[in-house]
A and B are shown apart, each in its own frame.
Chain A
Amino acid sequence: MSKKAFTALIIAVIAVLAVSFISPAFASAAEAVTEDAGIQAFFVELKDNIIEAFNELKNDIYTVLIKNDNYRHITDGLLVTIEITFAALIIGLALGFVVAIIRSTHDKTGKFKFLNSICKLYLTIFRGTPVIVQLLIIYYLWLGKAGVHENIAAIVAFGINSGAYVAEIVRSGIMSIDNGQFEAGRSLGFNYVQTMIYIILPQALKNVLPTLANEFIVLLKETSVASFIAVKDMMKGANALVGFTYNMNIPYITVALIYLVMVLVLQKGVSLLERRLRNSDH
């Protein structure tokens, strides 16, 4: 995203929030002031209303987030969110790599027919159904019954789900490398595995690294549905706050802002990575 577009977006978001925050003040000010009282009275009323709204907001933030260390629900949840995301990422990468190598070896050489069809079945199922359905099935029909902790179940579910996407990303990277690179490796005496490790995979990975990083960002956001199986992640923390403070605005907007900040930081990282890779593009 260019800097200008980004600034415009931020301004738009702030404007929408500001309008939704101030418009009630407008409405009530307009109601309170009678027609003959004049425009000045309207502005005085409006000013009072805005100040009142700000105070109310300050008050709400205090009672919902600060009082009784309520924010801990969200920050503790944040740690769980990060933990699940990273663990699932590692499972997804490992699984995705294995599947990608099996699939591309099959495409190139015709070997691993049986394994390839298993991989294809896996990809079809996990890319063809919503992640939340997979999560519920894995927890309630399998791991939960076996007494596995819900956090572990979430890690497994998101890991397997992410693996399916990583597999196709890595496979596309492997297949994008010119077959001549492969033949050159083989002609020098490298076997299939050595050619993959020394020649094909480093180039393939470099090509797909930005896409893989994006998959990581998607995964981070997707884990927010883990609260469906009672994982105490950030979303669950927000829900809990809503439950006992009866305030919906502040917990959800806080969580949204935290997700947004994390995603923006990661995206910045991705674009730095992309630029570095482009600079070393030989």
Chain B
Amino acid sequence: MTTDNILIKVTGLQKNFGSLEVLKDINTEIKKGEVVVVIGPSGSGKSTFLRCLNRLEEPSGGKIEFGGVDITDKHVNINKHREKMGMVFQQFNLFNNHTILKNITLAPVKLGIMKKDEAEKKAMELLKRVGLEEKANAYPSQLSGGQKQRVAIVRALAMNPEVMLFDEPTSALDPEMVGEVLDVMKELAQSGMTMIVVTHEMGFAREVGSRVVFMDEGVIMEENSPEEFFANPKNPRLKDFLSKVLI
């Protein structure tokens, strides 16, 4: 197939909340290994777009193909596909009643993907990778925001996903903790993980992104390589947006 390299293909994606049209007509393709950074003003629909990709929000129209399968089809078992789509939330959403290790191993073990000892071994390796192996037996409430978010990333990675979705992963963090999370994401990008990142971190977009997408009013207004995107914005709205965020 010629589409071998395309992991996610979005065609005519729409989402309404009642009479409010949040996504109007989104068309894009995400290739394997790409790091797509989605930026835009609040209310532009970028988070909704991301949440439609794993159907946490049910799309109102259009098609999302993931690995060649149309996952908006009602007969598709979305849970199976979600296993392959890791998600990291703005509010971390760690399971407060479980230890860090259990947070990470719960899904792989209960879903029958790995045996308990295998999952724990993998969890410890990943925790080591983000520098948190000594927190394995701590509870989420004992961690700082930055540590929680790194654990959340590890939790998603433990499922061996094909793509990672980041929904404003640093927006709820104190400024001094933003760096440690971005570093983990950067390292992840360099390891070849396909990533879609909704963020306000322009530095990250410029440095790590392989493509930057600007969304406003429920449509993709402009997308380009980071160099072109920041040096030569064409859309007047994007120019206006960049003039406000890049001081």
State whether the Cβ of B139 lies closer than 8 Å to any Cβ in chain A: yes
Q: Which of B88-116 contact A (CB under 8 A)?
A: 89, 91-97, 106-107, 110-111
Given contacts A180-B89, A188-B159, contact A206 B97 (CB under 8 A): yes
Question: By the criterion CB–CB under 8 Å, are A190 and B56 in contact?
Answer: no
Neighbour of B95 across the interface among A191, A194, A199, CB < 8 A = A199
Q: Which of A178-236 contact B (CB under 8 A)?
A: 178, 180-181, 183-191, 194, 198-199, 202-203, 206
Question: By the criterion CB–CB under 8 Å, are A187 and B54 in contact?
Answer: yes
Alpha-carbon gap, A218 to B138, bound state (A): 38
Question: By the criterion CB–CB under 8 Å, are A194 and B110 in contact?
Answer: yes
Interface-side segment among B10-18, B76-84, B120-128, B202-210: B76-84
State whether the Cβ of A3 lies closer than 8 Å to any Cβ in chain B: no
Residue of B nearest to A189 (CB): B83
CB neighbours (8 Å) of A194 from chain B are: 110-111
Per-residue interface assignment for chain A, residues 252 to 282, with 1 indicating a CB less than 8 Å from any chain B CB and 0 otherwise: 0000000000000000000000000000011
Question: By the criterion CB–CB under 8 Å, are B139 and A282 in contact?
Answer: yes
Q: Helix, strand, loop or mixed for chain A's interface?
A: helix
Alpha-carbon gap, A185 to B83, bound state (A): 11
Give the most central of B85, B86, B92, B97: most A CB within 10 Å. B97
CB neighbours (8 Å) of A202 from chain B are: 97
Question: By the criterion CB–CB under 8 Å, are B89 and A198 in contact?
Answer: no
Q: Which of B35-49 contact A (CB under 8 A)?
A: none
Per-residue interface assignment for chain B, residues 127 to 141, with 1 indicating a CB less than 8 Å from any chain A CB and 0 otherwise: 000000000000111
Question: By the criterion CB–CB under 8 Å, are A187 and B85 in contact?
Answer: yes
Alpha-carbon gap, A194 to B96, bound state (A): 17
Neighbour of A187 across the interface among B56, B91, B97, B106, CB < 8 A = B56
CB neighbours (8 Å) of A198 from chain B are: 106, 110
CB neighbours (8 Å) of B96 from chain A are: 181, 203, 282
Question: By the criterion CB–CB under 8 Å, are A188 and B142 in contact?
Answer: no
Per-residue interface assignment for chain A, residues 49 to 66, with 1 indicating a CB less than 8 Å from any chain B CB and 0 otherwise: 000000000000000000
Question: By the criterion CB–CB under 8 Å, are A282 and B83 in contact?
Answer: no
State whether the Cβ of B155 lies closer than 8 Å to any Cβ in chain A: yes
State whether the Cβ of B8 lies closer than 8 Å to any Cβ in chain A: no
Alpha-carbon gap, A226 to B141, bound state (A): 47
Question: By the criterion CB–CB under 8 Å, are A189 and B82 in contact?
Answer: yes
CB neighbours (8 Å) of B159 from chain A are: 188-189
Residue of B nearest to A184 (CB): B93
**Shortest Cβ distance from residue A125 to the other chain B in the assembled complex, whole angstroms:** 34
Given contacts A183-B56, A282-B139, contact A188 B82 (CB under 8 A): yes
Alpha-carbon gap, A194 to B79, bound state (A): 11
Question: By the criterion CB–CB under 8 Å, are B110 and A282 in contact?
Answer: no
CB neighbours (8 Å) of B156 from chain A are: 187-188
Alpha-carbon gap, A142 to B92, bound state (A): 53
Q: Which of A107-147 contact B (CB under 8 A)?
A: none
Question: By the criterion CB–CB under 8 Å, are A180 and B91 in contact?
Answer: yes
CB neighbours (8 Å) of B110 from chain A are: 190, 194, 198
Question: By the criterion CB–CB under 8 Å, are B80 and A189 in contact?
Answer: yes
CB neighbours (8 Å) of B82 from chain A are: 186-189
Question: By the criterion CB–CB under 8 Å, are A190 and B97 in contact?
Answer: no
**Shortest Cβ distance from residue A97 to the other chain B in the assembled complex, whole angstroms:** 18
Per-residue interface assignment for chain B, residues 177 to 205, with 1 indicating a CB less than 8 Å from any chain A CB and 0 otherwise: 00000000000000000000000000000
State whether the Cβ of B153 lies closer than 8 Å to any Cβ in chain A: no
CB neighbours (8 Å) of A178 from chain B are: 91, 93
Neighbour of B93 across the interface among A181, A191, A281, CB < 8 A = A181
Question: By the criterion CB–CB under 8 Å, are B79 and A191 in contact?
Answer: yes
**Shortest Cβ distance from residue A164 to the other chain B in the assembled complex, whole angstroms:** 27
Chain B residues with CB under 8 Å of chain A are: 54, 56, 79-80, 82-83, 85-87, 89, 91-97, 106-107, 110-111, 139-142, 155-156, 159
28 contacts between A and B (CB under 8 A): A178-B93, A180-B89, A180-B93, A181-B95, A183-B56, A183-B89, A184-B94, A185-B95, A185-B107, A186-B56, A186-B82, A187-B56, A187-B85, A187-B87, A187-B156, A188-B82, A188-B83, A188-B106, A188-B111, A188-B155, A189-B79, A190-B79, A190-B110, A194-B111, A202-B97, A203-B97, A282-B97, A282-B142
18 further contact pairs, Cβ within 8 A, besides A181-B93, A184-B87, A187-B89: A181-B96, A184-B93, A184-B95, A185-B107, A186-B56, A186-B79, A187-B85, A187-B156, A188-B156, A188-B159, A189-B83, A189-B107, A190-B107, A190-B111, A203-B97, A282-B96, A282-B139, A282-B140
Chain A residues with CB under 8 Å of chain B are: 178, 180-181, 183-191, 194, 198-199, 202-203, 206, 281-282
Among all A-B residue pairs, the 7 with the closest Cβ atoms: A282-B139, A189-B83, A184-B93, A188-B107, A180-B93, A187-B87, A189-B82
